[in-house]
Amino acid sequence: MGTTKSEHFTDTQNEMATLAKAIGHPARIAIIEYLIKVDSCICGDIVNELPLSQPTISQHLKELKNAGLIKGNFEGNAICYCLNEEGFNKIKLFFNHVNTYLENKKNECC
């Protein structure tokens, strides 16, 4: 009890859920938006941009990285993170599917 029953769903469903879940926190949205805004890697300065402690931010970065939404490179003693297109492309596939449906759906029951 308490654990998501991942084994009962398809790999695609679990993967999509993992991606969405990783995006499902305002701090992580803020990180993604910041990466877009500065159009460059973030090396440390993100800690000054967010109202959260360094360990908490490090944890959020790790989750985004594990989900495949950002990737990081070592640059001397700093680490640079930027968006990982691969993860966002998977999300795009899912929402393209949803949006195509919504644009063409026939039933008007609700």
Using the minimum distance from each CB to a second copy, give the nearer residue, 27 or 46.
Answer: 27
Site mask for a second copy (CB under 8 A), range 38-77, x = bound: -xxx--------xxx------------------xxx-x--
Alpha-carbon distance of 4 to 50, in angstroms, equals: 30
**What is the end-to-end Cα distance of the chain in Å, rounded?**
34
Q: Is the CB of residue 64 less than 8 Å from the CB of residue 19?
A: no
Interface residues toward DNA, by CB under 7 A: 1-5, 21, 24-25, 27, 43-44, 47, 52-56, 58-63, 72, 74, 76-80
